[in-house]
Structure 1
Amino acid sequence: MPNDRLTFYTNPMSRGRIVRWMLEELGVPYQTVLLDYGTTMKAPEYLAINPMGKVPAIQHGQTVVTETAAICAYLADAFSQVGLAPAPDDRLRGPYFRWLFFAAGPLEAAASNKAMGFVVPPEREKMMGYGTYAAVMDVLEDAVEQGEYLLGDNFSAADVYVGAHLGFGMQFGTIERRPGFEHYWSRVSARPAAIRAKQIDDDLLPKDATKT
């Protein structure tokens, strides 16, 4: 139905790759709108969608969602028939949200600070939401080693979001290449939807873009 149209705003060199993977896992029809940094991303038309002037964002009918983790959580619930989120009364709902937002909070902050060369002074660790980079890595490594996926045998949107962060982070050196991380990433990145999403975005890269 027209009122349920799903529009995806992105750039292939952005966190939009995570949402692309999520959309491919869902297997639902969607329209892609490509935006460029500094031009269409900052144009009034898009600022009406996301005042931050950043991607990704989605519009589902009249509903606009920004922030990658929120988009993944929203889509999993909006298309609950696909089974990428535990039901509200499922005991796995808590762990699902825990790891989805652990990656959006402590992991994102710790990895970003590492990329910028910022080390939290020991006397200031209690002021940081993630404490220390080492603590974040240890907790996450333990989580991905507990089972096939973060929720045991059940693949979910949390695996899309956490897996993408691990893949990107290890590629660019902001996340350590620990065996647990590499084994987990090798499993989730081999999913057909992940491969398909990567190919779609790779094909949209500028011809002179550096691929690593």
Structure 2
Amino acid sequence: MIRLHHCHETRSMRVLWLLNELGVDYGLQVHPFDKTLRSADYLALNPAGRVPALEMNGDIIWESGAIIEVLCETFQDTGLGRLPGDIERADWLVWLHFAETISQHSAALTQQHVMLYEDTMRSPIVMQLEAKRVQKCFGAIEGRLSTPVENRDYLLTSGFSAVDIAVGQAVYMARHFATFEGFPQVAEWYERITDRPAFQAALPPEGADRLYAQQFYPAWEMA
């Protein structure tokens, strides 16, 4: 039995996307993105009071990167992971954890634009710096996708994998604060991976409370 604890448009979305790609049966518990994540019951699942938390076969796993590794090792036949000994194992791990590099900048921008409730609390300087850091991350992805190898449609030469899910979901959040202007390979890759039915199924359903009320938050304006 697999059960994912999830908030819409957060890091847990990458685990939901992966579960959809794996094609396994799972239960989904959607939580509001508020202080209920600090309840004693939820802290027993994730002591950081964050999503995701995954219940699987009597175990509780938290941290999205760790969950992705465990799921890919558990369901090896899907080919979404790269196990120890695989020639692409190191690259797979690098890109899996690079997703968190992107996400930390998006989290800072989300706090500035979305979570702080008065303009006096916000810092245009922080907004600008973090948006530039997101663009640096886009540049790293652009460089990877521009590597002159045959069929570089995904982050790994061998094809689509869980790292496209992890990084793709991080970019889903980051694109609320930085555009793909100047990053044509990123734009094409992002369109390619988000056209997948498993991604579409991980989006908030119609009428659901969303974390982001706007499609884009300009760094130079007060939210």
Q: Does 1:205 align with 2:208?
A: yes
Q: Hey, what does 1:125 align to over in structure 2?
A: none
Aligned residue identity for 1:202? P
Q: Hey, what does 1:155 align to over in structure 2?
A: 160
1:41 aligned residue (37, 54, 60): 37
Shift in Å at residue 168 of structure 1? 2.4
Cα deviations by residue, 1:130-166 (Å, 9 ceiling, x for unpaired)? xx66654332211133311111242111000111122
Q: Hey, what does 2:138 align to over in structure 1?
A: 137
Cα deviations by residue, 1:178-208 (Å, 9 ceiling, x for unpaired)? 212111101111112112222xx3247139x
Relative contact order, CA 8 A, sep 6+: which one is greater? 2
- Structure 2 counterpart SS, 1:101: helix
2:189 aligned residue (176, 184, 194): 184
Q: Does 1:196 align with 2:201?
A: yes
Q: Hey, what does 1:58 align to over in structure 2?
A: 54
Shift in Å at residue 13 of structure 1? 3.9
Shifted more, 174-183 versus 8-17: the winner is 174-183
- Structure 1 counterpart SS, 2:205: helix
**Count, aligned residues:** 193
Q: Scaled by the length of structure 2, what TM-score is found?
A: 0.75
Structure 1's unaligned 5+ residue stretches are: 121-131
Runs of 4+ in structure 1 over 3 Å off: 37-40, 109-117, 132-137, 174-177, 209-212
- Structure 2 counterpart SS, 1:202: coil
Shift in Å at residue 111 of structure 1? 4.3
Q: Hey, what does 2:76 align to over in structure 1?
A: 80
**What is the RMSD of the two structures over their aligned residues, measured on CA atoms?**
2.6
2:65 aligned residue (59, 62, 69): 69
- Structure 2 counterpart SS, 1:104: helix
Shift in Å at residue 113 of structure 1? 4.9
Structure 2's unaligned 5+ residue stretches are: 113-124, 216-223
Matches of 2:89 and 2:97, distance apart in 1: 12
Shift in Å at residue 71 of structure 1? 1.7
Q: Does 1:173 align with 2:177?
A: yes
Q: Does 1:108 align with 2:103?
A: yes
Shift in Å at residue 210 of structure 1? 3.9
Matches of 1:56 and 1:12, distance apart in 2: 11
Following superposition of structure 1 onto structure 2, how do residues 81-96 of structure 1 map, counting pairs within 5 Å?
A: 81-96=77-92
Matches of 1:64 and 1:52, distance apart in 2: 13
